[in-house]
Amino acid sequence: MGGLAGQRASMRRVVVASAAGTAFEWYDFFIFGALAPVIAKVFFAGLTETAGFVAALGLFAAGFAFRPLGAILFGSMGDRLGRKGAFLITVSLMGGATFAIGLLPTHAQAGAIAPALLILMRIFQGMALGGEYGGAAIYVAEHSPSDRRGFSTSWIQASAAFGLIAALVVVLATRTSIGEEAFTAWGWRVPFLVSAGLLAISIWMRMKLTESPTFEKMREEGEISRAPLAEAFGRWSNMRLVLLAFFGVMCAQGAVWYCYFFYIQVFLEKSLQVAPATVNIVVMAMTLASAPCYVLFGWLSDRIGRKPVMLGGMLLGLVAFFPAFHALAGFVNPALVEAQRRTPVVVAADPATCSVQFDPVGAAKFSSACDIAKGVLATGGIPYRSADLPAGTATEVRIGEARLRPADGTGLGADALKTLKTEQTAAIRKALADGGYPLKADPARMNLPGIAAILLLFVVAATALYGPMAAMLVELFPARVRYTAMSLPYHVGTGWVGGFLPVTAFAIVAMTGDLYAGLWYPVIFTAISLLTMMFLVPETKGRPLDA
């Protein structure tokens, strides 16, 4: 009996230390997403409001872009030298880069050097997270009994929720305690600097762990791979599993999870004009609700299998994208939806005078009448439709029966163009207000039960897919190359499919004027995984991990 109790206590230590370290890494990573609007003002002050926000989202995505590189680097290290050492290094790298962001100069202080340093720190963060998840999930799974593997590894999945909760709590507490003006001036640094204490705790907890029993057994038997990269990706038997993991699991995970937990923030704040503090509270509530759901669905996958639970999450997420976001808009900002139906906005222009409505590098001036009009509408979250006019015809903004003809700023100097844009913005916004378009979402008109129901649906879809996922991925790959082979598809899916979702979806909205057009991005990737998993991915529940 004492032996069983000791094993359970040891398993708890493994889960707590692994999940706590992973939660800290997610905290570091998520701070940036929560602060994207502030980052845009502080580090991209030279761009327009829309371009600066898209640049901040692009930089958020840049951290994800380097996660596959970290997966290869630390995955190979974990397969050759051990699971524990690899994810001890990753947590240190992540913590150091995050703390450094809190010390960086702003654009006003250092000009272009500031965003360049920020990009470098984001690269370090992305590489660190690329090695973290696989190591933690594998370490826990290789310690866990086979009939509790889904439950045990689901705590690693839940650590993402804990990290996001911590990030939002620190951001919200700092924001409300010092005020928005001080927060934009210097308070944004606090959440990054706080990470130093969390880093020390995480390192201390992980230093107390021993190596995974599966890796120790391979080391004793001389079965450790000498070239895990070549073995994982150079042998078709392993490469086939990598492709199945990416197309059958990770495309949907990146699309569903990052749409419902990250793009939802962009949609609420930029498209529906909800106050940033309210958005933080909404996402925090979603995240709190999600934490036990990861564990529930991980436990359920130990009973009925990984595939049925994950397929259920994919299917629910897929069918919910468009109707749920439409319903959410009506519940959150009914005045905007009513105005859109009653007083549709049309930008009629010579298409040759209209540009793509975002510019992350700040190279475009957006000086034509068409560009100025669409820029005002995109920044204000106002849905609009484009109409083509004959070449040479003046641009016209139609707001119901009202007709505005914005002045063209082509050829003007920087100061004159800025003045013109300010004047045109005021004129268009006045016409919008006269047409019944709200400047902000009215909290008094929000349908709170309806909002809660939609967000709960999002949570169930995302957690049913994500909860059993660690166990399935660990079970899918052979022990010799597990860290390397599992980490790459995971981080290509979350890093490239998921990480680029907010910036791509918002860009599509800005270009088309359709608040919902960006949802085609997650719909396509989720459908790919649903079909691939249904017909090609095997059930893995209960597989031995020492093979």
* Domain spans of the chain, in order of start: 1-222, 238-333+447-535, 340-435
Is 405's pLDDT higher than 70?
yes
Terminal alpha carbon distance of the chain = 30
Work out the average pLDDT over 370-395.
Answer: 87
Residue 361 has a pLDDT of 46
Residue 61 has a pLDDT of 66
- Amino acid at position 174, single letter: T
Give 489 or 281, the one with higher predicted confidence. 489
Q: In angstroms, rounded to a whole number, what is the distance separating the alpha carbons of residues 12 and 6?
A: 10
Residue 55 has a pLDDT of 67
Residue 33 has a pLDDT of 66
Render pLDDT for 527-538 as a digit per residue (tens, 0 to 9). 999 999 999 999
**CATH number of the domain located at residue range(s) 1-222 in this protein:** 1.20.1250.20
Highest mean pLDDT among 88-102, 115-129, 404-418, 467-481: 467-481
Q: In angstroms, rounded to a whole number, what is the distance separating the alpha carbons of residues 128 and 130?
A: 5
Q: With contact defined as beta carbons under 8 Å apart, do 431 and 402 qualify?
A: yes
Q: Dihedral of the CA atoms 167, 173, 175, 179 (nearest 10)?
A: -170
Burial 7-43 (b: 16+ CB within 10 A, else e): eeeebeebbebbbbbbbbbbbbbbbbbbbbbbbbbbb
Is 319's pLDDT higher than 90?
yes
Render pLDDT for 157-216 as a digit per residue (tens, 0 to 9). 888 788 878 887 888 889 889 988 898 889 989 998 988 887 788 788 777 777 778 878
Work out the average pLDDT over 338-348.
Answer: 91
Is 2's pLDDT higher than 80?
no
> Which of 33-42, 296-305, 342-351, 356-365 is the least confident region?
356-365
Render pLDDT for 270-314 as a digit per residue (tens, 0 to 9). 888 888 878 878 887 888 899 899 999 999 999 999 999 999 999
> Which of 206-215, 399-408, 483-492 is the least confident region?
206-215
Distances (CA, A) of 191 to 106, 125, 312: 16, 15, 36
Render pLDDT for 44-78 as a digit per residue (tens, 0 to 9). 766 666 666 666 666 666 677 788 888 888 888 88
Work out the average pLDDT over 342-348.
Answer: 91
2: exposed, middle or buried (Cβ count in 10 Å: 0-12, 13-18, 19+): exposed
Work out the average pLDDT over 433-440.
Answer: 88
Work out the average pLDDT over 511-525.
Answer: 90
3-state secondary structure of 243: helix
- Amino acid at position 146, single letter: S
Q: In angstroms, rounded to a whole number, what is the distance separating the alpha carbons of residues 275 and 411?
A: 36
Residue 82 has a pLDDT of 76
Q: With contact defined as beta carbons under 8 Å apart, do 261 and 165 qualify?
A: no
Do domains 1-222 and 238-333+447-535 share one topology? The answer is yes
Give 41 or 516, the one with higher predicted confidence. 516
Q: How many CA atoms lie within 13 A of 91 on its CB side?
A: 32
Work out the average pLDDT over 37-46.
Answer: 75
Residues above pLDDT 90, as percent of the chain: 29
Could you confirm whether domain 238-333+447-535 is CATH 3.20.20.140? no
What CATH fold (topology level) applies to the domain 340-435? Glutaredoxin (3.40.30)
Work out the average pLDDT over 420-425.
Answer: 87
Work out the average pLDDT over 433-441.
Answer: 88
Is 9's pLDDT higher than 60?
no
Token digits for 143?
């310690």
Work out the average pLDDT over 369-397.
Answer: 87
- Flag whether the pTM goes above 0.85: no
Tokens 């010092």 appear where? 178
Is 112's pLDDT higher than 80?
no
- Amino acid at position 36, single letter: A
Token digits for 486?
């599992």
Q: In angstroms, rounded to a whole number, what is the distance separating the alpha carbons of residues 237 and 241?
A: 7
Work out the average pLDDT over 138-159.
Answer: 87
Residues above pLDDT 70, as percent of the chain: 93
Highest mean pLDDT among 123-132, 326-335, 405-414: 326-335
